Amino acid sequence: MELRPYQTEAVSAVYDHLRERDDNPCVVIPTGGGKTPVIATICRDAVELWDGRVVILAHVKELLEQAVEKIAAIAPGLPIGIYSAGLGRKDLGYAVTVAGIQSLWKKACDLGPVDLIIVDEAHMVPAEDDGMYRRFIADARVVNPSVRIVGLTATPYRMKSGEICGPGNILNHVCSVVGVRELIARGYLSPLRTRAGSARADTSALRVRAGEFVAGEVEDLMDTEALVESACEEIVGLTADRKATLIFSSGVRHGRHIARTLQDRHGAECGFVCGETSSDERSEILGRFRSGGLQYLCNVNVLTTGFDAPHIDCVALVRPTMSPGLYYQMVGRGFRMSPGKADCLVLDFGGNVLRHGPVDAVRVSTFDRGDGEAPAKECPECRALILAGYSACPECGYEFPEPERRRHEARATTEGILSGQTTCEEHRVSGTTYHVHYKRSDPSAPPTMRVEYRVGFSAYFREWVCFEHEGYALAKASQWWLARSNEPFPSSVEEAVELALLGALAETESITVERKAGEQFDRIIAHRLGAKPPRLDSDEGLPEYTPATSCGIPLSEIPF
């Protein structure tokens, strides 16, 4: 199995982080973007190249099954054990152990020393309490104090506490991220269309508990005859030509009401699954839905992670949520590509897009209710839900009235009081890394070399060198290279990065960073460089550069 370019970049970013930093990295890949092949590749390298032991943790058995399948495809013959009560296995002593956290959390000592703990759906790791993940990791550190943790998730934030990465958390830094919009543009994820329901409930009176609307109040609000009938009529009317519609309801009573209304009033059979559904009945219903024998399927909080049905081309949110992660996971069920699938329609009857923003720009807040500007807005003509910055609706062309200018900034700042004022500060560089970078907003643009300078313990500044551009950008790249290297100017970004990895560039000892009031990003305006290294051996060509994997990691640089 060959990794996609962004998956290869994610593997390399994990290895870079483990070699160069003392804390733990997180990889962010959208739902449907393929986290499992990244996990499988890291497992293969850890065992076959570095003689390490790995444990993969997940919270649902479907994710465990996917991990085993992908590891077997990428590394046939790799010893894999499964420790999961749900799968009827409790294997110990393997190089790779794929485990359900519910089964393994008290068994770190029985498992023995491991070098790498990989957490799938890493947003499930709690922020502070002494839960199963934290207990297992703490015990694993007793057995092997040098164990490292790698997290993978589509949603690097929690319902109430915000970002999952931070100095005091188990995961500390997002080392690689690829966005929904980029993968749609590259043809790896399905295009999305979003529309608000014509009838929506007023959620302003709902109470919030632990970062989410109180469940009973939500169900009482949404489970009315008028709202259910309006939603079902709209779902049927907009999905006549679609293959599979997945519906999220606000409770068991509400979900059964939706399924009954679709059947009795619209003649549309709708399956229903919830936590109370037996395993056999659930398997039968999901099998029919996956095979195309059932067009509509309603569920209550059971098909948000680990459920894979690529042909889903409509997701109906007949429930509001305060959780940006749950909102993303629900919509993410329609991200995957499938033959004959043109796009995925998202029908929002709970005001979730207006509350959280589009899924490629989710607004994350640690407060129960945000009072800031809405990240999305609804077109009054066609009810399309679009980014707040649009002046005209891209669906129907409706032109929004000119907004009022903001009267003041939202928070105090240490920036210059007048726009354009600048401050400059020199930083000593403790490490420099080089990467091939693709512009996410325009994947067709030429790649650049992203140079990352580490300053202090965990702060980074970046600049981009344009070896494959033209005009002024190319001239600047030529000056940048000439100041650092005795090698000929590279013909591509990939060649530049390879030469940098081979030691062809002078060490950057410090950088001077300019900050201008009113501008979002800092700018590196000067560098203090060490001596240029001598030319690489021109008689025998470049020294042999044998990557440990397809990601170009030298064998000698063991990441843990």
452-484 pLDDT, tens digit per residue, is: 998 865 578 899 999 999 888 888 999 999 999
C-alpha to C-alpha distance for 503 and 485, rounded to whole angstroms: 9
pLDDT value at position 498?
A: 85
The CB density around residue 280, as the number of other CB atoms within 10 Å, is: 8
CB 262 within 8 A of CB 228: no
> Letter for the amino acid at 555?
L
Looking at the domain that runs over 190-364+377-387, which CATH code has it been given?
3.40.50.300
The strand pairing partners of 347, in sequence order, are: 195, 316
- Helix residue ranges, H only, 267-337: 279-291, 324-332
CB 244 within 8 A of CB 311: yes
> Letter for the amino acid at 469?
H
C-alpha to C-alpha distance for 24 and 384, rounded to whole angstroms: 40
C-alpha to C-alpha distance for 350 and 194, rounded to whole angstroms: 13
C-alpha to C-alpha distance for 92 and 94, rounded to whole angstroms: 6
Structure tokens, 100: 């359900």
pLDDT value at position 275?
A: 87
The whole-angstrom distance between residue 323's C-alpha and the CA centroid of its chain comes to 16
The number of CA neighbours under 13 Å toward the Cβ of 337 is 11
Backbone angles phi, psi at 22, to 5 degrees: -100, -5
Write the DSSP string, 189-206.
S--EEEEE-SS----TT-
Longest dimension (CA), the chain: 82
Q: Would residue 292 be called left, alpha or beta, if left means φ above 0 and alpha means ψ between -120 and 50 degrees? A: left
> Letter for the amino acid at 273?
V
Structure tokens, 79: 């010893």
C-alpha to C-alpha distance for 445 and 468, rounded to whole angstroms: 10
Its pTM stands at 0.65
| 11: enclosing H helix or E strand | helix 5-20
Pairing of strands 422-437, 245-248: unpaired
Instruction: Report long-range pairs for 378-386 (Cβ below 8 Å, ≥24 apart).
Output: 378/196, 378/354, 382/195, 383/195, 383/196, 383/197, 383/198, 384/193, 384/194, 384/195, 384/196, 385/194, 385/195, 385/196, 385/348, 385/353, 385/354, 385/358, 386/194, 386/358
Burial of 518-554, coded b for 16+ CB within 10 Å and e otherwise, reads eeeeeebeebeeeebbeebeeeeeeeeeeebbebbbe
pLDDT value at position 374?
A: 53
Backbone angles phi, psi at 311, to 5 degrees: -80, 0
CB 33 within 8 A of CB 5: no
CB 298 within 8 A of CB 314: no
CB 258 within 8 A of CB 297: no
C-alpha to C-alpha distance for 144 and 533, rounded to whole angstroms: 39
pLDDT value at position 368?
A: 42
| 365: enclosing H helix or E strand | none
> Letter for the amino acid at 175?
C
Which stretches in the chain have pLDDT values below 50? 366-373, 403-420, 538-560
Planar angle of CA 349, 204, 377, nearest 5 degrees: 50
3-state secondary structure of 40: helix
pLDDT value at position 355?
A: 84
pLDDT value at position 122?
A: 86
pLDDT value at position 17?
A: 95
Give the length of the chain: 560
Planar angle of CA 388, 392, 394, nearest 5 degrees: 90
Question: Where does the chain hold its CATH 3.40.50.300 domain(s)?
Answer: 5-184, 190-364+377-387
CB 130 within 8 A of CB 139: no
Of the candidates 453, 446, 509, 513, the residue with the CA atom closest to the CA atom of residue 477: 446
C-alpha to C-alpha distance for 61 and 88, rounded to whole angstroms: 11
CB 201 within 8 A of CB 227: yes
pLDDT value at position 73?
A: 87
Pairing of strands 270-273, 459-465: unpaired
pLDDT value at position 540?
A: 41
State the residue for tokens 């293959």. Answer: 243
3-state secondary structure of 129: coil
| 381: enclosing H helix or E strand | none
pLDDT value at position 402?
A: 57
Burial of 318-353, coded b for 16+ CB within 10 Å and e otherwise, reads bbbbbbbbbbbbbbbbbbbbeeebeebbbbbbbbbb
- Residue 517: partners with Cβ closer than 8 Å, 6 or more residues away: 415, 416, 417, 418, 419, 420, 421, 422
Of the candidates 501, 480, 371, the residue with the CA atom closest to the CA atom of residue 435: 501
Per CATH, domain 5-184 is 3.40.50.300: yes
